[in-house]
């Protein structure tokens, strides 16, 4: 695991190595063990290394035999041993035992298309000095990040946005479309970033810069595939096949020259990974869990059951709200507005794990692949009872708001969204600020582009598939990448911790999307086949337990201990000075939430996050008066 960065001068001038050095120094947390650089006329590459495989010999950049091809990589290639053996049979000579070295030799044989043969997670940059060609690529699932900035004269890139900010020529003008999307989602979908000049390379895409031209194309698209045959067999047979598929993925992801731990919640995804890792690792694994004083949000008891069953070296932490200390740290960590409140416990459990190991497993992907979200059940239910829900809406809206946004809030959301078109309905279950609320908040009629544009493009590609698979594909290709995976990567790497996601393995994904709907969601029953498979290795209480997610009691915190902090950060004076939102609207949102008339914790958390990010990175509004 590493952090990478670099510059290519498209006009042929020498790359500014001082700027690249500054960029590299900003991502030391991604690789505190060592660093490496190279410069060749118009290009300069740099990296920070977290040593995981071939601790002594895996320093980067790594070159081919004659030094004409060099690469820096952030990530891990799990099939590197198989690739290496094949490349050696074809005459390639290796100097290290590192997974990164297969990249230069595979590129020699296949050119930029070499990335399609990689099984792993990666953001990489490869320089071909003979062709004067730079290749940037991101793994098919978007597990590892890669940002880039392109001007007429220069292409620069980095694992994190904070590295590109080190370039004094970067404009920090806010992208109004990205701001609109942030208000809708509480995160920003690729290819947008908060800055107009910077883009995210999308998952499964490769960028090739050569002869002053830059071209980007998709090389992989996990998810729905036209005419993929559905798997046959009984539920018991499918569960057994899935368990073995998961076991093989865990075995591949355990490849490391350092111990591997597991981030263990009380959910079926991480519990299954912990169980299989304990069985396959051959040594006592370490597990890490986090809980809350509010028992409704805590899964520590369930996590302990798994830890006790497999005799893991288990570590726990109780989260208490300390916003003055933690929220500014999150703004620094995520370096663009990111308001998924589960980032807070993810950050803290990563900090806990980082004190003991360099590598952990996390369960991201299980909900998207096997139908774990309540939204999927709602999507399937809405066409049948949507009109009834709308008719009952006046009564539903009069329900009191519970302290922690549970049943009442879900009923209200269902009634509001049930009769919308399918895509808008799916978004409506989790929407933060509605279009009307965004317009009011931004003031003066300021509106960006449609925040669902990225969703619409992905959704249109799966029109051949059944409704549930289309929503799963949408979440896999957009929300998972820019919310869940962004969260685990930044939170882990802030503590020099590599987070691996064995559920996002090509074989597991292919299996999941070849299942009939009945094996995923049936009525209110979710993750049916995964739970059946997990029953062989995890306690029954977890297999049958309800999904809680990695949520925090934000609503209660913002009405109690965090209220003074929120009032200060979102004061009318400060909001006006920043110039993005209407201060009166922000104050009203706070008042309504604190009074208990409605749960606006997600909206307030988003505004808090934006203000703290703005304070740290000094961005300015291009539309402020």
Q: Go through 64-98 and write b for each residue having 16 or more CB atoms within 10 A of its CB, e for each that does not.
A: beeeebbbbbbbbbbbbeebbeebeeeebebeebb
* Count of CB atoms situated within 10 Å of the CB of 502: 28
Contact 214, 208 (CB under 8 A): yes
Pairing of strands 69-77, 120-128: antiparallel
Residue of 200, 121, 185, 189 lying closest to 489 (CA atoms): 121
Long-range contacts (CB closer than 8 Å, 24 or more residues apart) made by 297-301? 297/404, 297/548, 297/551, 297/552, 297/553, 299/265, 299/266, 299/267, 299/548, 300/266, 301/266
Residue count of the chain: 625
Is 2 tagged catalytic? no
Q: How far apart are CA 242 and CA 520, in angstroms?
A: 13
Strand partners, 611: none
For β-strands 286-292 and 213-218, DSSP reports them as unpaired
Q: Which residues pair with 340 in a beta bridge?
A: none
Angle at 105 between CA 99 and CA 110, to 5 degrees: 120
Of 497, 504, 189, 535, whose CA–CA distance to 364 is shortest?
Answer: 504
DSSP 117: G
d(CA 93, CA 374): 52
Across 93-153, the runs of DSSP E, i.e. the strands, are 120-128, 133-138, 147-150
Measured N-to-C along each axis, helices 453-460 and 467-474 cross at an angle, to the nearest 10 degrees, of 130
Which two three-digit tokens encode residue 332?
A: 């620094």
Per annotation, catalytic residue among 4, 5, 161, 250: 5
Active-site residues, by number, are: 5
């Amino acid at each position: 695991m590493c952090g990478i960065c670099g510059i290519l001068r498209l006009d042929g001038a020498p790359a500014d190595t001082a700027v690249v050095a500054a960029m590299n120094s900003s991502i030391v947390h991604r690789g505190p063990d060592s660093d490496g650089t190279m410069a060749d006329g118009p290009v300069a590459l740099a990296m920070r290394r977290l040593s995981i495989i071939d601790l002594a010999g895996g320093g980067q950049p790594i070159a081919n035999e004659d030094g004409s091809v060099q690469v820096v990589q952030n990530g891990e290639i799990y099939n590197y041993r198989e690739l290496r053996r094949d490349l050696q049979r074809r005459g390639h000579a290796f100097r290290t035992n590192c997974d990164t070295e297969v990249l230069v030799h595979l590129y020699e044989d296949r050119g930029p298309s070499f990335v399609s043969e990689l099984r792993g997670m990666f953001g990489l940059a490869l320089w071909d000095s003979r062709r004067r060609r730079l290749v940037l690529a991101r793994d098919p699932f978007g597990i590892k990040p890669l940002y880039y900035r392109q001007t007429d004269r220069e292409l620069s890139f980095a694992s994190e946005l904070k590295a590109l900010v080190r370039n004094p020529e970067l404009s920090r003008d806010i992208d109004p479309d990205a701001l609109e999307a942030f208000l809708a989602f509480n995160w920003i979908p690729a290819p947008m970033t908060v800055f107009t000049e910077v883009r995210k390379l999308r998952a499964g895409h490769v960028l090739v810069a050569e002869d002053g031209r830059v071209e980007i194309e998709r090389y992989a698209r996990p998810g729905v595939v036209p005419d993929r045959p559905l798997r046959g067999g009984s539920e018991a047979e499918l569960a057994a096949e899935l368990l073995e598929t998961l076991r093989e993925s865990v075995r591949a992801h355990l490849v490391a020259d350092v111990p591997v731990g597991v981030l263990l919640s009380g959910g079926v995804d991480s519990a299954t990974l912990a169980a299989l890792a304990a069985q396959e690792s051959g040594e006592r694994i370490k597990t890490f869990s986090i809980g809350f004083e509010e028992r409704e949000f805590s899964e520590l008891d369930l996590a302990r059951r798994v830890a006790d069953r497999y005799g893991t070296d288990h570590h726990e932490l109780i989260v208490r709200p300390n916003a003055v200390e933690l929220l500014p740290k999150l703004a620094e960590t995520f370096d663009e507005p990111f308001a998924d409140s589960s980032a807070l416990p993810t950050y803290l459990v990563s900090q806990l794990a980082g004190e003991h190991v360099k590598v952990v497993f996390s369960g991201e992907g299980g909900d998207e692949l096997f139908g774990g979200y309540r939204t999927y059940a709602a999507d399937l239910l809405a066409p049948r009872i949507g009109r009834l829900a709308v008719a009952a809406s006046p009564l539903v809206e009069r329900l009191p708001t519970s302290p922690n946004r549970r049943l009442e809030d879900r009923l209200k959301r269902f009634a509001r969204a049930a009769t919308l078109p399918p895509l808008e309905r799916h978004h409506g279950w989790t929407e933060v600020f509605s279009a009307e609320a965004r317009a009011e908040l931004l003031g003066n009629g300021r509106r960006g582009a449609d925040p669902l544009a990225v969703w619409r493009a992905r959704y249109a590609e799966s029109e051949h598939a059944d409704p549930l698979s289309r929503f799963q594909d949408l979440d896999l290709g957009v929300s998972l990448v820019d919310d869940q995976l962004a969260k685990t990567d930044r939170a882990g790497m802030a503590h020099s911790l590599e987070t691996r996601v064995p559920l996002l393995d090509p074989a597991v994904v292919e299996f999941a999307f070849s299942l009939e709907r009945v094996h995923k969601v049936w009525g209110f029953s979710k993750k049916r086949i995964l739970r059946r498979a997990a029953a062989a290795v995890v306690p029954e209480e977890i297999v049958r337990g309800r999904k809680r997610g990695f949520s925090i009691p934000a609503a209660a915190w913002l009405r109690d201990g965090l209220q003074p902090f929120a009032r200060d950060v979102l004061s009318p004076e400060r909001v006006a000075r920043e110039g993005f939102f209407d201060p009166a609207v922000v104050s009203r949102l706070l008042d309504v939430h604190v009074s208990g008339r409605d749960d606006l914790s997600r909206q307030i958390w988003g505004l808090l996050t934006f203000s703290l990010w703005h304070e740290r990175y000094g961005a300015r509004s291009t539309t402020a008066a």
